[in-house]
Structure 1
């Protein structure tokens, strides 16, 4: 029955469906089992490259007989059997792995995510995931590098516990925001190298606009918002003047310290979407003007507009 041990009939069905090319998720759905149950069954009881029902049944029976007598029942976590929790960890880890996170690292992360507030030691993770200490150590190192986990001393200070604290999502958010801004800036440099009129320039332009907007929307820093607001003010000043302005002229006209005007111009340079559909243009030493963004229109669109303008003259 669903939730219990796999029967010989279950294994016959698994073998038949695998032969038909079905994936673990579909087989699990048909049997009413977690995907992880099917994947573990094939990994544990299947021969190399092949899963057959009868040998799998014999392997499972042999493994059951080798278990130590008097073994206590596995613990229950949050009212759910450990097997169900393990299934959730594996399924959730599969989703995270699809985003690019290594599968073992994803399993360790979800295991910590589903632990209580005290976190887990490395030994706890090894026991829960049934993997080697080296695998846990490598995954913890990767998660720490991404600032997704923190370590705390265990009782007595002899061991360390790993946990996901309340600030993890803010750290991840800030890291993504910075990375998106850097991608937007890199895309803009690429446009300057390949040219806005090329197919590469057009693709980089679309990419840059996307990540620049994403970075702006994700930025929750009051300081960042203030600098971006100053950047809009500088743009308004350049539009109103209708001519190039020096940094000194901008600062004096706006009544700002020179450093504030410099920061505002830098914000526009680093976040091109702030000026969209215009672009900040350096026309001389510390002298700035505005132009239309070359990547906003495709080469064909610009050619058509030039033709239309000529026809109207």
Structure 2
């Protein structure tokens, strides 16, 4: 077995682990492609070919990874296909207000709060949900600042 085959075996194992952790299977496999590719960017077609998957399932996985901020679209002058890459700050963005999933959760909680009365148990639960996400978003900048400091220190030592 060559090094590339071993890498793709590790990629599939990582995807399995991510799936067991709750990520949808195709999103996990697609994320593994981004993590293990030796290219600067990839197209949906290249991912589908690599994973031997349908264009539709890869498209849905890409949309999912875009929505949480792990990947980004790149301009590709001269190409008629969309190009994507793993964001340099992917893991940090995953936990910021740029993450559309967090924003959707906040909006959903607020919409529910707006339709319930203060004495309704649903109102209390939805308020707790909203407050949790607001609290987390408030704490994340300090955490990310600490991460950046840690990362920069480790990078300078390497």
Question: Which category describes the TM-score, using the shorter chain as reference length?
Answer: 0.5 to 0.7
Question: Does the alignment pair 1:106 with 2:28?
Answer: yes
Match of 1:218 in 2: 140
In structure 2, do the counterparts of structure 1 residues 137 and 188 end up closer, same or farther at CA, with 3 Å as the change threshold?
closer
Match of 2:3 in 1: 76
Q: CA deviation at 1:85?
A: 2.7
Match of 1:132 in 2: 54
* CA distance, structure 2, for counterparts of residue 208 and residue 132 of structure 1: 37
Q: CA deviation at 1:114?
A: 1.8
More contact order relative to length (CA 8 Å, sep ≥ 6):
2
1:227-306 alignment runs, 5 A limit: none
Matched position secondary structure for 2:13: helix
Q: 1:166 aligns with which of 88, 104, 117?
A: 88
Match of 2:12 in 1: 90
Match of 1:208 in 2: 130
Q: CA deviation at 1:112?
A: 0.9
List runs of 5+ in structure 2 lacking aligned partners: 143-158
Q: In 2, are the aligned partners of 1:118 and 1:163 still within 8 Å (CA)?
A: yes
Matched position secondary structure for 1:105: helix
Question: Does the alignment pair 1:153 with 2:76?
Answer: yes
Q: CA deviation at 1:150?
A: 1.9
Q: In 1, are the aligned partners of 2:110 and 2:126 still within 8 Å (CA)?
A: no
- Larger radius of gyration, structure 1 or 2? 1
CA deviation map 1:11-53 (0-9, x unaligned): xxxxxxxxxxxxxxxxxxxxxxxxxxxxxxxxxxxxxxxxxxx
Q: In 1, are the aligned partners of 2:8 and 2:36 still within 8 Å (CA)?
A: no
Q: CA deviation at 1:123?
A: 4.4
Name the count of aligned residue pairs.
Answer: 138
Q: In 2, are the aligned partners of 1:180 and 1:215 still within 8 Å (CA)?
A: no
* CA distance, structure 2, for counterparts of residue 167 and residue 75 of structure 1: 31
List runs of 5+ in structure 1 lacking aligned partners: 1-73, 221-313
Match of 1:178 in 2: 103
Q: CA deviation at 1:107?
A: 0.8
